[in-house]
């Protein structure tokens, strides 16, 4: 059988497309944690309610690979968005939670020897 005569650039583009696992791979994502981003936006007088709502419902990964959002976290915990943000911020400040920018994941940390 004849070999495929695809151009190298087309082959590379196809391989890159095959590696994508979700729509989120094409998005910029959060530079800092979603809770820190929401806190900063909530304190900015120029940020409107629509922008905050988008941040509240923007999806990110948690340690087990599942997707969630600030709105889902708050709902599951029976909290307001502000309370969930404050709780995650506290966990991060105490070293129990980290934001992994590369994987766009909230990663729990278990301190060793504390």
pLDDT, residue 31, reads 87
Residue 7 placed within a domain: no
49 part of a folded domain: yes
Residue 22 inside a domain? The answer is no
pLDDT, residue 7, reads 61
pLDDT one-digit tens code per residue, 10-42: 555 555 444 444 334 445 678 899 999 999 999
| Six-digit token string for 39 | 């806190």
Task: State yes or no: pLDDT of 1 exceeds 70.
Answer: no
Q: What is the pLDDT of residue 49?
A: 93
pLDDT of residue 3: 56
DSSP assignment string, 67-113: EE-HHHHHHHHT--HHHHHHHHHHHHHTTSEEEETTTTEEEE---S-
Q: How many domains does the chain have?
A: 1
Specify if 18 maps to a domain. no
Residue 93: which domain range? 28-108
What is the reported pLDDT for 73?
95
Whether residue 95 is contained in a domain is answered as yes
Phi, psi of 113 (to 5 degrees): 70, 30
Q: Please, are residues 109 and 97 in contact by the beta-carbon 8 Å criterion?
A: yes
Candidates 100, 102, 80; CA nearest to 92 is: 100
Q: What is the pLDDT of residues 55-68, one digit of tens each?
A: 999 999 998 889 99
pTM above 0.75, yes or no: no
The model's pLDDT over 72-113, given as tens digits with 9 standing for 90+, comes to 999 999 999 999 999 999 999 999 999 999 889 999 998 776
6 found inside a domain: no
pLDDT score, position 12: 56
């Amino acid at each position: 059988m004849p070999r495929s005569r695809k151009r190298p650039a087309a082959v590379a583009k196809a391989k890159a497309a095959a590696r994508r696992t979700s729509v989120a791979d094409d998005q910029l994502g959060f530079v800092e944690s979603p809770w820190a981003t929401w806190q900063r936006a909530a304190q900015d007088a120029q940020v409107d309610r629509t922008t905050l709502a988008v941040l509240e419902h923007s999806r990110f990964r948690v340690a087990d690979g599942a997707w969630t959002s600030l709105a889902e976290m708050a709902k599951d915990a029976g909290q307001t968005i502000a309370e969930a943000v404050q709780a995650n911020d506290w966990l991060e400040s105490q070293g129990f939670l980290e934001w992994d920018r590369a994987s766009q994941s909230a990663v729990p940390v278990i301190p060793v020897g504390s």
